[in-house]
Amino acid sequence: MTFKTFAICCCTLFLVACGSAPVVRDTTLSREGWWSESTGEPSDKGNDIVIYALGLIDTSYKFGGKNPEAGLDCSGMVSYVYQHAADIKLTGSAAMMAKLGRVVSNKDLRPGDLVFFNTMHRPASHVGVYIGDGRFVDAPSTNGKVRIDKLDNKYYAQRFEQARRYFD
């Protein structure tokens, strides 16, 4: 384990253990003030998914990429994380993943849930792993690296579609 991965894991454990509720989007409210505090409790499997996803920060983006050595795209990153961290097989595009699992309301978002966005003028064209506090890990083609983004970032807030859960 590299020092960077170790440091990211330590920071994640601190954030997960601190007990503050993450801020998430509430689609029932108007555009202003659409974030409310989540009531979702973290799970061990969700925390494992978050830690694994954070370990991929700065991995190169590659369209169609399915492993960190060659590069990852958003759905490849999610497939890789879910398979290795939780032994859950999710394959295919972000749109295919958005048809599986259980829909989660914004107020019930928990670390490890997936968040879906319409970034290419088609439903569920982008996916990321929710990590808490209104943040998610994704592999956007912009800037070419796996990174942490915020749900309230204007770009993502305008394109948010849904969240789904694939574990208990």
Average pLDDT of the chain to the nearest whole number: 83
Q: How far apart are the first and last CA of the chain?
A: 29
CATH of 3-14+42-165, one of 3.40.190.10, 3.90.1720.10, 3.40.50.2300, 2.60.40.3080: 3.90.1720.10
Is 146 within 8 Å of 72 (Cβ atoms)? yes
For a pLDDT cut of 90, what percent of the chain falls above it?
A: 71
Helix runs in the chain, H state only: 3-17, 44-54, 74-86, 94-97, 154-159
Domain locations in the chain?
A: 3-14+42-165
Nearest residue to 54 via CA among 27, 81, 25: 81
What are the backbone dihedrals phi and psi of residue 143, each rounded to the nearest 5 degrees, phi first? 70, -5
Backbone torsions φ then ψ of 53, nearest 5 degrees: -65, -40
Evaluate if residue 40 carries a pLDDT over 70. Answer: no
Per-residue pLDDT, 143? 80
Residue of 111, 125, 166, 135 lying closest to 35 (CA atoms):
135
Task: Please tell me the pTM assigned to this model.
Answer: 0.78
Q: Identify the pLDDT of residue 38.
A: 55
For residue 93, give the amino acid letter. Answer: S
What pLDDT score does 39 carry?
A: 53
Q: What span, in angstroms and rounded, lies between the C-alpha atoms of 81 and 103?
A: 20
Do 24 and 111 contact (CB within 8 A), yes or no? no
Greater confidence (79 vs 143) lies with 79
Q: Which residue has the tokens 């209104």?
A: 134
| 102-137 pLDDT per residue, tens | 999 988 999 999 999 999 999 999 999 999 999 999
Q: Does the structure show a pLDDT above 70 at 28?
A: no
CA distance 63 to 106: 29
Is the pLDDT assigned to residue 32 strictly greater than 50? no
* C-alpha span between 138 and 72 (Å, rounded): 10
